[in-house]
Chains A and B, each alone.
Chain A
């Protein structure tokens, strides 16, 4: 109880500190130095109408690379944590042969027919939409992450509707690795062909506002989108598999 009071007191103090922030906050009326530069120079320099994309992919490209890495390692980490090793199987007695049949048959009720049918109908569209989102990232709201997330939501659909469906680990791994690696390669090419690491101007900036413009941004977003999509799918897949253990 004392601890609870203590927590309450601490949070009250935190609230007081936050109040200090709020009380002294005034809304910006002009852009910050960085914002101003990006809004001013961004379109010319990089040829991307979507300033956020310009910032994300190029100006702060290293962040994005890091971000992709974060996602990659959290997927790897989840995989590592939820892996099935022989040792693990020994722990889980009653599941002598960790075969897929039991895993997938598991405790999940099969989805209703409506859901299955809807999924079959919607899935291609969802994936297509995801691709659209990341391919147009430099022009309109959206981008690699958003697109990837949409693709992963498609996977989610699939997993909900068809719990038995098998997602090829190999495919995921290859796509994941290759897209990530390609991203790095594109970044390195920036060093040789343009101003520096992750510079998008290794390719022609193209026509401002068209699909294949803004240098390598679409390319990068392609890789990012694929990578994010597949990684999120992999995470979902791993949680699903793990969840079928004995209860």
Chain B
């Protein structure tokens, strides 16, 4: 589909900016909320809700910065562009033209591949910082990514078989009409595989080795600070939320309104959090092997399951 007038482009861009704003704020807010919940579990009060916002502002207000080179400078830009772009290709609210963003540019496949964009850019930026820990962190992160990508890909193939489409809008549409139509019910095997992959994607324990503050000070962003860091932090919230929205669309029937979206994504997030607070950290090779075992097996079964659904 082509936009024949500048106007339409601009209005699209405007609506998307709104989506972006909401999702970013929501992402930051959920981050704080989760922190507070964890604090409650630990018997603490925890950070104020405003803390993530203050942190970002503080970093913007830093008065000095250094640069290791052009890629170091552009790394955070790539990173957040990846986040924004991913969101741009996902229809956020079902049935709402306003919030369907630029999803006409590409399908689910585009979203999945575009997720790499930011990671690659960030990796380049971190790489130029010349810090060995950054490189180690990236090496670990990328390795882990290849591992969780397997069950996720299998789950995606499974639901593509199931719904016979790659279009996110159509996948959500197929899940409308009550919770019993959600993928999590109709194709629970695929959902299970994908949720296990989500654990790896969110980077919480037990799959947080690539950040590992205790051994390789927070990994890739070790050298990033000031304004760079605030971009990264913004992206972390935004991108996290975007992934949740993607999962919601794929497996949990999407959302017809912002409220539904927030509740659903929060609950999906909670899965990762609960697992995260309950389990210790895997070594990276253990993590990789883990993903290649049970989640992959479940993913394989999900494809068989989808084929059975199709023939049934």
Direct touching of A and B (C-beta under 8 Å)? no
Q: Name B's A-contacting residues (CB within 8 A).
A: none
